[in-house]
A and B are shown apart, each in its own frame.
Chain A
Amino acid sequence: DAGVIQSPRHEVTEMGQEVTLRCKLISGHNSLFWYRQTMMRGLELLIYFNNNVPIDDSGMPEDRFSAKMPNASFSTLKIQPSEPRDSAVYFCASRRGQDNEKLFFGSGTQLSVL
């Protein structure tokens, strides 16, 4: 099993540019989570999908952030326009089922907005 795959590993962009982060779930997993990690705020849940449907997006900071799950195995997180305060590590995690199941994290995307 290849695990949760995220791309790119690193992204450096300029303020105002659009950024798209990608995530491929583990086969058979049906729940998908996007987290953001910073030194100041720790690991924050941005949005959670179950069976391709967004269940809770209350953690999405503002309208500049959007996430989609066009099929059962793939998700994108888009920031448009990006700002320096969006600089963080963005993790995607997946799991099988909804209850008490282990979360598998991808290796993360280190985003730097200059």
Chain B
Amino acid sequence: QKEVEQNSGPLSVPEGAIASLNCTYSDRVSQSFFWYRQYSGKSPELIMSIYSNGDKEDGRFTAQLNKASQYVSLLIRDSQPSDSATYLCAVDTSGSARQLTFGSGTQLTVLP
């Protein structure tokens, strides 16, 4: 079993809708969780980080963390075509924040 699991998609949503991206992880000692966005042919860029259970909001993005269920999600409200990208979930699986393990990513397409 992979340490960080994501649905590969593709996930398609209409413009203006809420996109919901999910991630599960296997290491119970993980403390730090990140969402990276990667446009086709580009490098990953950090869009959200979350360390405590609950929700964290940043503009149209909301990260949700449930450590008991080993589950982290990313909601994108009012989705725009420019949000079309692959979203990578990253989890620190070494017990410290020194190393990150990435999921395989979910490809999101926002239809105009």
A-B residue pairs in contact (CB < 8 Å), sample of 6: A31-B98, A43-B105, A99-B96, A100-B97, A103-B44, A105-B45
Residues on A lying within 8 angstroms of B by beta carbon are 31, 35, 41-45, 48, 50, 55-56, 91, 98-103, 105-108
Contact B101 A45 (CB under 8 A): yes
Q: What distance in Å separates the Cβ of B26 from its nearest Cβ neighbour in chain A?
A: 15
What residue in chain A is nearest B46 (Cβ atoms)? A102
Q: Flag B39-64 by CB within 8 Å of A: 1 or 0 each.
A: 00011111001010000000000000
B interface, by DSSP: helix, strand, loop or mixed?
loop
Interface residues of B (CB under 8 A from A): 32, 42-46, 49, 51, 88, 96-105
B43 and A108 within 8 A (CB)? yes
Q: Which residues of B contact A100 (CB under 8 A)?
A: 32, 49, 51, 97
A-side contacts of B42, CB under 8 Å: 107
- Tell me the nearest residue of chain B to A42, going by C-beta: B104
User: Which of A31, A45, A100, A101: most chain B Cβ within 10 A?
Assistant: A100
CA distance A47 to B45 in the complex (A): 19
Q: Which residues of B contact A98 (CB under 8 A)?
A: 96-98
Contact B100 A103 (CB under 8 A): yes
Given the complex of chains A and B, what is the CA–CA distance between A43 and B104 in angstroms? 7
Question: For A44, what are the chain B residues with a Cβ–Cβ distance below 8 Å?
Answer: 102
Cα of A42 to Cα of B90 in the assembled complex, Å? 12
Chain B residues with CB under 8 A of A41? 104
CB-CB under 8 A from B103, the residues of chain A are 42
Residues of B within 8 A of A48 (CB): 98-99
Query: Which residue of chain B lies nearest to A50 when distances are taken between CB atoms in the complex?
Result: B98
